[in-house]
Amino acid sequence: MNQHPVTERLFIDGPVGRLEAVIERPGEGALQGCAVVCHPHPQHGGTMHNKVVHTLVRAFVRSGYEALRFNFRGTEQSDGEYDEGNAELDDALAAIEWMRARHASYPLWLAGFSFGAAIAVKAAVATHVDGLISVAPAISRFATGMESQPDCPWLIVQGDEDELVDVEETVEWFDSLEPGPELLIVPQGEHFFHGRLTELRDAAMGFIAQKKKAGQCPAFHCLSVVPIKPCL
């Protein structure tokens, strides 16, 4: 697959006005699917330009997917105001529906980092997606009280030295899920995955390829904790 994606900056319609967005697609080769990626907390500097968001987008594009990243309401040039993770769910759903209308016949995946991972989990409960990747999901702050869970192949990635999202809380939440996703614990992994972004990208690409090879879009029933080798 071409390593030089085609990038387009645009605005999409959101619930309270325009949402600033960037779409990236493979430079050549048949399109394999599409994806939406959600960014971290906008009140703490999180935008669609975050490096973990970039890494997830690269994973999808290198896997042959067109990937949309967008700014939640009130972030940079997106209309509206921050709503503590509540109405941001509506923004994510609007982005998903925009992408679904654009590529109705293709698989649609969803991913997010931190705050965005929690919003993405809620969105994957509210609407059908074909796969989900949650990186350092801030579930205890922004996605509590859910009565159901995503019904799709699902990867959770968590650093064991995350200074913002407690790894024990993530593991406890993971253990409560039935059927559950795959959990990837990154040894010496910080919240922003400093020095580990290539490993994160490769883990995401591996999961996407694994599900594509298996032809697996229904619920994924494997429960596993798979650490990756730390950098020496």
- Alpha-carbon distance of 4 to 26, in angstroms, equals 7
What domain count does the chain have? 1
Q: Which of 74, 211, 37 lies closest to 131, judged by CA?
A: 211
Task: Indicate the pTM of the whole model.
Answer: 0.90
CA-nearest of 117, 118, 119, 92 to 36 is 92
- Residue 1 within any structural domain of the chain: no
For residue 222, is pLDDT > 90?
Answer: no
Looking up residue 142, the CATH number of its domain turns out to be 3.40.50.1820
Long-range contacts (CB closer than 8 Å, 24 or more residues apart) made by 7-12: 11/77, 12/68, 12/70, 12/94, 12/95, 12/98
Residues 207 and 228: beta-carbon distance below 8 Å: no
Residue 221 has pLDDT above 70, yes or no: no
Closest CA to 113 of 80, 58, 82, 157: 157
What was the pLDDT predicted at 218?
Answer: 37
CA count, 13 A, side-chain hemisphere, 182: 20
The two tokens of residue 193 are: 């995955």
Do the domain assignments include residue 188? Answer: yes
Give the model confidence (pLDDT) of 135-176 as tens digits.
Answer: 999 988 876 767 789 999 999 999 999 999 999 999 999 998
What is the pLDDT at residue 143? 64
Does a structural domain hold residue 71?
yes
Q: Is residue 197 part of a domain?
A: yes
Which secondary structure element, helix H or strand E, spans residue 207, and what is its range?
Answer: helix 197-214
The boundaries of the domain holding residue 39 are 6-225
Give domain status of residue 230, yes or no. Answer: no
**For residue 179, cis peptide bond before it (omega within 30 degrees of 0):** yes
Tell me if 143 is assigned to some domain: yes
Average pLDDT in the chain: 90
Identify whether 91 is part of a domain: yes
Is 232 a member of any domain?
no
Taking the C-alpha atoms of residue 182 and residue 166, their distance in angstroms, rounded to an integer, is 18
